[in-house]
Structure 1
Amino acid sequence: MVITGKKLVEVLKEHFRDFRMDGEKAENLISFDEYLAHHIKEGGDLIRAGIIPPYTLYFLPEKLKIEAKSKIDLNLWVFLSGFLMRVDHFASFCEEENKSFLIEIEIFKTNLAEELNKKFKENFWQKEFMDLKNENIILIAPTGLGKTEFAFLWAEGEKFFYTLPLRVATNQMFERACSYFNEKIAPGDDFFINRNVGLLHSDADLYIFDKWENARSTDKEGEIPKIVNLARHFSLPVNISTGDLLFPSALKYPVYERIYATLGYSKLIIDEVQAYDPRACAIVVKMIEDIVSLGGKFLLMTATLPEFVREELKAIKFQEINLYEKVKDITRHKVELREKDIENDIEEVINKANEGKRVLVVLNTVEKAEEVYKAINKKIKEKGFDELSLELLHSRFTLNERKEKERELEGKFKNPKPSDENSPKILVATQVVEASLDIDADYLFTEIAPIDSLIQRMGRIMRRIDLMSGKIKGKDEKFKWDNFYKKNESNIIIYFYHKENSKEFLESGKEKVDDSKKQKEFEKEYNKELDKILENVKNNESIIIELKESEKNSMLKKFMTL
C-alpha cells in the first residue's frame, strides 16, 4: 500500500507540475500520509485517525466558522465534490457491468422548431419566445395550451431535467419526450442503451420493463435495464423525473453535491408547481436560488402561480410570461356553485350524458368516488340505460389495472372530442384525473377543492378549443357557446355543503377546503362583488358566473372566496 501510494504521489506531482494555487506550486501541496496508510491496513477506522466524514454534523459549527474566515468558494466546492462523486459512482457501475459507457451522452441534435411548426401551423405561439432560450422563465398559462412543447423548445440543445409531482404524469411526459428527442432505432440498436431520454422515479424500472418487455437485449432475472441505470447516473441529455428525487437536495443531505453539480450546467424545468404543498414549494424555491447561483437555468410552469413563490424569487432575474393575457377573450367555462351534496344531482349527471355528452364527476376521496359511482350505476340499471358508458378511476387500483383503465379512458374520452361523437359517457374519478389523463369532456360535476385543483379539473372540459386562436381544433370554425350548450347553462358545477351535525366544511385530503379565518380576511375586499352577485340571484339557490379565459385566475379566486 505504501509503495503504491508513493508512486501515486509522484504521478500526481508530475501531472500538476505547472499548476499554481494562491501563488504556490500545486506539486508542493501533494504528499502521502504513511501513518494513515498503516492505520487503514491494520483495520483501524478513520474517525480514530482524526478524519471526519464531510457529511457529519458533529463539527458543523466550527466548520462554518473556518469556511467563513477562509472565504471558501462554495460553488467550486460543490462542482468538485459533485463531479468526483459522479465519476466514482459511475466507475463502480461500469466495473459491475464489465462494460464501458459514456458518463455524459452527447446531446442529440434535433430541429424541434421545424417539427412543432408543422404540428401547430399558425397556432405555433411558442416560436415568439425563442429568443428567451438563455433566460430564466416563469410561464403562467391555461391547461392544454402547449406548455410542454414550450419547455422542450426552451431546453433543446442542452442537458435538462423535467420535473413533475406525480409518477403517472412523469411516465406520460417520458413518452412525449421520447417522441421528440429519441433517434429512430437502427438495426442492432439496444433500446436500453442507445437512447437519449431517461426516466427517474421510484418505479421507473418497473415501468420500462412493462413498456418494452419484448425489446431486444433486455436484462433478465430482475436486473435493472441499462437505460434506468444511466438515468440514475445523470448520463442522459434528457431526464424526466418526479420532483421528490431532486428537490430534497436543497436540504443539503449527504452527497447532495452530486445533484447540484449536474444541475449547475443543466436546465431545470419545474411543471405543475401549484401541486406541491407550501413546505415543498419553499424547498423548490431554495433549489432554484442555489441552481441559478451555480450557473444553471430554470423554467417554472404553472396554470396558477402561488403568490409567495413569485415574491421569494424576486431576487433572481427572470422573465415572466403570462399567457392568460394573450389567449382569446372567450368563455368556455360557466361555473355554478351549489350548496348541497353531489349525490342529490345524480339524475342530472345521467341526463346530461344521455344528451350524447361526456360527463366528468370528480370527488375528493376514494370512498366518496366509489359511493357516487355505485349510486349512478344503480340508477342506470333501474332506468335501463344500457348504452351509457360508466367508468371509475382512483388511486387504489393495482398498477396494471390503473394503466389499463387510463389507456382505455384516453380512448373513450379522447382529446380533442370528435365533432361527430354523440355517445353518452360518465367518468367518476378522484384527484388523479387532474394531471394524469389527457381527456376532453363536456361537463364537470365536482366537489369544492383548492382553487389550483379546481383549475386543473376545469382544464379537462372543452379542450377542443384552441385558446390562442379561439377556433375549434382541426377546423376553421370559431367557438360559439350556443353551438355546444344552452344559453344560460353552466358546464362546471361545484358542490359544497356542511356535514351533518357539524360546522366543518367538505374535506379535501387531510385538510378542510374552507377556512373561516381566511374567509374573514377576504370579506372586506370582495364585499362589493358579493353585493352585485347577490342582487342578481336573490331568488335562486345557486350562483353562476362566466369565466373568460383572460381573467380566469383572478375571477375564480374572487368567486370561490365569496
Structure 2
Amino acid sequence: MNDIEDALIKEIYSNSLAKPDETLYEHTKLLLDNFELLKNLGYLNSNVNDIEEILYLSCLYHDMGKINPIFQQRLKNKNKFDKNVEVGHNILSIFLLNPFLSDKSQNENNLIRCAILNHHNYIENFTYLDTENNEELIENNLLEINDKFLHLSSEDFEEMIDKTLDFKTIHEMKQIQKTYDYIIIKGLLNKCDYAASAHMSCEIKNDFLLNSLENLNYEWRDIQNFCIKNRNDNLVIIGSTGLGKTEASLLWGADNKIFYVLPLKTAINAMYERIKNLVKNDYDKKVAVLHGQTDSVYLKELDNDTTVKNENEKFYEYYKNTKKLAMPVTVATPDQLFDSVFKYNGYEFKMATFSYSRIIIDEIQAYSPDILAYTIYAIRLINDLGGKIAIFTATLAPFVKDLLTKKSSITSEYKFKDFEYKYECFLSEDKRHNMKIIEEDLNSEYIIGILNQHVDLKTCLIVRNTIKSAQELYNQLQNELDSSKYEVNLLHSKFTVEDRKQKEDEILKDGNPRKLNDKIKIWISTQIVEASLDIDFDIMFTELSELLGLFQRFGRVYRKRILKSDIPNVYVFTEISEKQISSPYNSYGFIDQTLHNLSKKALIQKGDGIITEQEKLDLINQYFTTENLRDSEYIKQFNQVFNKIQNLTPGKMELKDVKKEFRNIISFKAMPINIYNSSDIAKLIEQINNCYSQMLGLEKEQRNAEKLKLIKLQDKLMDKTLNVNISDINPKNFFTVANEKIYLTEKFYDIEYGLLNDELVDKFDLQPNSGGIFI
C-alpha cells in the first residue's frame, strides 16, 4: 500500500499535472508516504473501522479530478479558474472514484466521497451538487475526462454520475459530516495533503522525551510515579508548587505526541525554554512554541544559535513544522489549538491530530468562563475521538470538575461519552504562607507601614486587579518611598512587546531569593503574574478578586521556601471597587460577584495566620461548589458559550471570524501615536514597504530569503506595538505596512507606566516624550 499500484491509475496520474512543477503521481505518492508514516507511528485510530483502507483510498483518489483536460490546460496556460467552464477538482473526484470502489460498503464509500469532496471548501460543495443548473457542466467536464482517459461506455458513464448525484447518496454524505469517523478521515486526509504540498513529513517521531527525563537522574516523587503508572488514563492532578508537576506531566506524555497548553505567552515561552533545555540537541526537531509571536521567538532563537549555517532554510522548516502541527512536543495557547471547537472549514485537521495525541492542560483555573467553555468542549470531543487529556493545576474548583463530566441536556450533533479520569491530590506539607486579611481597600499607607517594619526584606510583590490602579499605586510609591532604599517597578499587559519582554526578564531575575540586591525590589503588577511565572518573592500585598486566582498569586511568594517567621508574608485586601464586579447591572465588570462574595466569606471564616495547602483546597471545595455557583454570571456565561458551540453546524464559520470570537476580549494590535511619530519608525516603515515590494517581484525560489528579511523588519516594528481594547482606538485611525493594518492609539505611552488614560497623564504631570521613548 506504499505505492500507487493500479496500472491505469498510475499511468493516468503520471501523465497529469497536480501543480505546474509536479505530476499528480508525484503529489499523490507524497500523500501515501505520509499515510504510511501515520500508520507506522501507530497514529491511525482504531475506533474507525477499516481506517487504513479508507484513508488510503481517500489519499489515492482525493485529487483525481485534476486529470480534467480543462484543468490541465489552465495549469499550463497559467489562467484563472472560470466557474462557467470548469468544475472544481474535488467535486469531479467523487464521481471519478466510483468505478474503483465497487468492493466497499455504501457507508464506507460515502465516507470516502465526503472526505474528498470537502478537502477543499472554495464553495459550498453540497449546494453545488444540489443545484440542477450545475449538472450539465459537471457532465461536460466528466465527458472530457472519459474521452481522454477512462473510455467508459455510455451506460457505465451514466451510472458513474447517477451514483453521486443520487438524492440518497448526497443526504447520507451530509449526515456523515456529523460523525467522528468523518472528522478523523477528513482531518487525516487534510494532514497528508498539507504535508505533501509542503514537501514535508506530517509528523516527527517522539523518541527522545523519556530518555531526556531519565538522564536527569532524579528520584521520582509520588506525583511523578502516579503519572508513570497511569499513562494510559485521563488524569486530573492537584499539585502544590515545587512538587515537580512539569516533570510529572511530561512523564505522563512519555514518547507520544504532546500538546502542552498554557494560558499566557510568558508562561509558554518559559515552558518552551525549559523543555528545550531538557531535550538539548536538535530542539528544532523536538519542541515547538505556538502562539501569536511564534515567528519572533524563532528568529531570536536562531540569531542566538551559532551552529546555524542556513538561517533561512532552518527558520522555514521549523516554522512550517510548527504551524502544520508536525512537531513531537508543542507548547501552545488555548486559542491556537481549541479554536477548532467552532467547526470552521478545515477544523477536522486539528481534531484528527488530537485523536492520537496527549494533551496536557496547565493552569485551567486561570480561564475566563468563555475560554473554559471552549476548553471543556474540546476536552470532551478529544476524549471521544481517542486522545488523552491530563489536567495539572494547583487549584481546581468542584464546579469545574462537574462541568468536565456533565451530560448535556440540549440537542447536539455529537453525544459525548462519559469523560472518565483518575483524580489525585499531591499537597506539600510545608508551611509557606502566613495570611493577614484586611477588610479595606489596598492603599499605599498600609503597604509603607508594613515595609518599614521589615528588617531583612529583599523583594515585595503587589498585585492589583486593574492596570489603572496599578499605575496609580506605582506613581504613589515612587513619590513616597526612599529611592536610595527601594526600587519600584511596574508590569502589566499594556506595555509594548519589547518593554514587556524586558520587564518580564527583570521580574524573573528579581524574583529569585538567591539574588543579592542592593535595593529592596518592589514589583506592582496585575493578574498576569498569576500563572506559571517562576518567581519567589518575600512578601505580597494583593487585592482579592476570587479565591482560585488569589491562591495562584500566593504561589509567587515563598514558592520554594519554608516559612519560619510568625510575621505575615501575604496581605489580602478584600474590598474592591464596585466597578470591577460583573453583574446584570454592570457589563463592564470583570470579577464575578458570586465568586468574589464566596471568596471573601471563605477568607473571613479562615481568619489570619498560617494557611496550609490542604486548607486552601478545603476552602475551595467547601465554597466553590456547583450548587453555590448555580446562579452566578460565571456559570450563565459558561453555559451560553458551551451551548452555542455545541449546536454549531460544521463548516458554517471561517477561521478568520473564529480568531476574533475566540478571544475573551477582542484586542487590536496598535502603536501609540507618540511612538509612531518618531523618525526612526518612519524609516522602519519605509524599509518594510520597500522589502515587501521587492519580494512580490521575485520568483518563488528567491522569495523566501527576502521574506525572512521582511519578517525580521516587521518584528522590529511589532516590538513597538501592544494589544489594546476597542476603547483605546479609533477604528478609522490606522496605518498600513506591507499590506497589514496597524491601529494607532491616541493615548499616551510612557516607558515606565505603559499606556495611560488622559486623566492619569495630567494627574502624574507627564509631558510629551517623557519617560524616554527610545526607538
Q: Name the TM-score class by shorter chain.
A: 0.7 to 0.9
User: 1:548 corresponds to which residue?
Assistant: 612
Q: Choose from 464, 473, 495 the match for 1:363.
A: 464
Q: CA offset at residue 36 of structure 1?
A: 6.8
Does structure 2 conserve the Cα–Cα contact (< 8 Å) formed by 1:353 and 1:359?
A: no
User: 1:89 corresponds to which residue?
Assistant: 194
User: 2:295 corresponds to which residue?
Assistant: 205
Equivalenced residue count is 491
- Comparing 57-66 with 510-519, greater Cα deviation is found at 57-66
In structure 2, how many angstroms separate the alpha carbons of the residues matched to 1:67 and 1:359? Answer: 64
In structure 1, how many angstroms separate the alpha carbons of the residues matched to 2:126 and 2:13? Answer: 31
Change beyond 3 A, Cα 1:165–1:518: closer
Asked whether 1:78 is paired with 2:183, we answer: yes
Which one-letter code corresponds to 2:481 in the other structure?
A: I
Q: Secondary structure at the match of 2:488?
A: strand
User: 1:177 corresponds to which residue?
Assistant: 275
Q: Secondary structure at the match of 1:260?
A: helix
User: 1:378 corresponds to which residue?
Assistant: 479
In structure 2, how many angstroms separate the alpha carbons of the residues matched to 1:549 and 1:48? Answer: 67
Which one-letter code corresponds to 1:45 in the other structure?
A: K
Does structure 1 conserve the Cα–Cα contact (< 8 Å) formed by 2:183 and 2:351?
A: yes
Q: CA offset at residue 145 of structure 1?
A: 2.9
Change beyond 3 A, Cα 1:124–1:400: farther
Change beyond 3 A, Cα 1:87–1:353: farther
User: 1:473 corresponds to which residue?
Assistant: none
Asked whether 1:241 is paired with 2:332, we answer: yes
Q: CA offset at residue 402 of structure 1?
A: 2.2
Which one-letter code corresponds to 2:452 in the other structure?
A: N
Q: Secondary structure at the match of 2:610?
A: strand
Asked whether 1:454 is paired with 2:550, we answer: yes
User: 1:539 corresponds to which residue?
Assistant: none
The one-character-per-residue Cα deviations of 1:137-180 (angstroms, maximum 9, x if unpaired) are: 11122334321111111112111111111111111111111122
Equivalent runs, 1:1-20 vs 2, <5 Å: 7-8=12-13
User: 2:394 corresponds to which residue?
Assistant: 303
Change beyond 3 A, Cα 1:64–1:281: farther
In structure 2, how many angstroms separate the alpha carbons of the residues matched to 1:452 and 1:298? Answer: 22
In structure 1, how many angstroms separate the alpha carbons of the residues matched to 2:389 and 2:437? Answer: 38
Equivalent runs, 1:128-167 vs 2, <5 Å: 128-167=226-265
In structure 2, how many angstroms separate the alpha carbons of the residues matched to 1:72 and 1:514? Answer: 38
Q: Secondary structure at the match of 1:145?
A: coil
Which one-letter code corresponds to 1:171 in the other structure?
A: N
In structure 2, how many angstroms separate the alpha carbons of the residues matched to 1:20 and 1:148? Answer: 35
Equivalent runs, 1:328-407 vs 2, <5 Å: 328=429, 330=431, 332-351=433-452, 355-381=456-482, 386-407=484-505
Does structure 1 conserve the Cα–Cα contact (< 8 Å) formed by 2:542 and 2:572?
A: yes
The one-character-per-residue Cα deviations of 1:463-522 (angstroms, maximum 9, x if unpaired) are: 123xxxxxxxxxxxxx4x4x3x2x3x32211224365xxx65668995253626984x99
Q: CA offset at residue 234 of structure 1?
A: 1.6
What is the TM-score of this pair, normalised by structure 1?
Answer: 0.75
Q: Secondary structure at the match of 1:322?
A: strand
Q: CA offset at residue 391 of structure 1?
A: 2.2
Q: Secondary structure at the match of 2:502?
A: helix
User: 2:568 corresponds to which residue?
Assistant: 490
Asked whether 1:108 is paired with 2:207, we answer: yes
In structure 1, how many angstroms separate the alpha carbons of the residues matched to 2:488 and 2:66? Answer: 76
Q: Secondary structure at the match of 2:448?
A: helix
Change beyond 3 A, Cα 1:72–1:230: closer
Change beyond 3 A, Cα 1:424–1:89: same
Change beyond 3 A, Cα 1:33–1:555: closer
Q: Choose from 303, 314, 321 the match for 1:230.
A: 321
In structure 2, how many angstroms separate the alpha carbons of the residues matched to 1:196 and 1:34? Answer: 36
In structure 2, how many angstroms separate the alpha carbons of the residues matched to 1:6 and 1:144? Answer: 63
In structure 1, how many angstroms separate the alpha carbons of the residues matched to 2:505 and 2:596? Answer: 40
In structure 2, how many angstroms separate the alpha carbons of the residues matched to 1:212 and 1:369? Answer: 36
Change beyond 3 A, Cα 1:298–1:512: closer
User: 2:521 corresponds to which residue?
Assistant: 425
In structure 1, how many angstroms separate the alpha carbons of the residues matched to 2:576 and 2:611? Answer: 26
Q: Secondary structure at the match of 1:246?
A: helix
Asked whether 1:278 is paired with 2:369, we answer: yes
Q: Secondary structure at the match of 1:425?
A: strand
Change beyond 3 A, Cα 1:439–1:83: same
In structure 1, how many angstroms separate the alpha carbons of the residues matched to 2:392 and 2:595? Answer: 30
Q: Choose from 509, 527, 531 the match for 1:411.
A: 509
Asked whether 1:288 is paired with 2:379, we answer: yes
Does structure 2 conserve the Cα–Cα contact (< 8 Å) formed by 1:547 and 1:556?
A: no
Does structure 1 conserve the Cα–Cα contact (< 8 Å) formed by 2:242 and 2:560?
A: no
In structure 1, how many angstroms separate the alpha carbons of the residues matched to 2:544 and 2:245? Answer: 26
Where do 5+ consecutive residues of structure 2 fail to align?
Answer: 1-7, 16-24, 33-49, 75-80, 92-116, 131-166, 406-417, 629-775
Equivalent runs, 1:430-441 vs 2, <5 Å: 430-435=526-531, 437-441=533-537
Q: Secondary structure at the match of 1:259?
A: helix
Q: Secondary structure at the match of 1:460?
A: coil
Identity rate of aligned residues, in percent? 27
Which one-letter code corresponds to 2:610 in the other structure?
A: E
In structure 2, how many angstroms separate the alpha carbons of the residues matched to 1:72 and 1:400? Answer: 45
Q: CA offset at residue 30 of structure 1?
A: 7.9
Which one-letter code corresponds to 2:278 in the other structure?
A: Y
Q: CA offset at residue 425 of structure 1?
A: 2.4
Does structure 1 conserve the Cα–Cα contact (< 8 Å) formed by 2:437 and 2:572?
A: yes
Q: CA offset at residue 559 of structure 1?
A: 8.7
Q: Secondary structure at the match of 1:249?
A: helix
The one-character-per-residue Cα deviations of 1:14-62 (angstroms, maximum 9, x if unpaired) are: x9xxx9999xxx89x9897799764896854299959585757796999
Q: Secondary structure at the match of 2:180?
A: helix
What is the TM-score of this pair, normalised by structure 2?
Answer: 0.55
Q: CA offset at residue 267 of structure 1?
A: 0.7
Which one-letter code corresponds to 2:608 in the other structure?
A: I
Asked whether 1:445 is paired with 2:541, we answer: yes
Q: CA offset at residue 285 of structure 1?
A: 1.4
Q: CA offset at residue 458 of structure 1?
A: 0.6
Does structure 2 conserve the Cα–Cα contact (< 8 Å) formed by 1:353 and 1:424?
A: no
The one-character-per-residue Cα deviations of 1:221-249 (angstroms, maximum 9, x if unpaired) are: 9x954212111112211111111111110
Larger helix share, 1 or 2: 2
Does structure 1 conserve the Cα–Cα contact (< 8 Å) formed by 2:234 and 2:390?
A: yes
Change beyond 3 A, Cα 1:70–1:243: closer
Does structure 1 conserve the Cα–Cα contact (< 8 Å) formed by 2:465 and 2:543?
A: yes
Change beyond 3 A, Cα 1:136–1:122: closer
Which one-letter code corresponds to 2:396 in the other structure?
A: L
Aligned CA RMSD, in angstroms, stands at 4.3
Does structure 2 conserve the Cα–Cα contact (< 8 Å) formed by 1:205 and 1:225?
A: no
Does structure 2 conserve the Cα–Cα contact (< 8 Å) formed by 1:104 and 1:235?
A: yes
Change beyond 3 A, Cα 1:291–1:168: same
In structure 2, how many angstroms separate the alpha carbons of the residues matched to 1:297 and 1:332? Answer: 35
Which one-letter code corresponds to 1:364 in the other structure?
A: N
- Bigger relative contact order, structure 1 or 2 (CA pairs below 8 A, ≥6 apart): 1
Where do 5+ consecutive residues of structure 1 fail to align?
Answer: 95-100, 186-190, 466-478, 534-542
Change beyond 3 A, Cα 1:510–1:460: farther
In structure 1, how many angstroms separate the alpha carbons of the residues matched to 2:267 and 2:51? Answer: 50
Does structure 2 conserve the Cα–Cα contact (< 8 Å) formed by 1:201 and 1:241?
A: yes
Does structure 1 conserve the Cα–Cα contact (< 8 Å) formed by 2:237 and 2:391?
A: yes
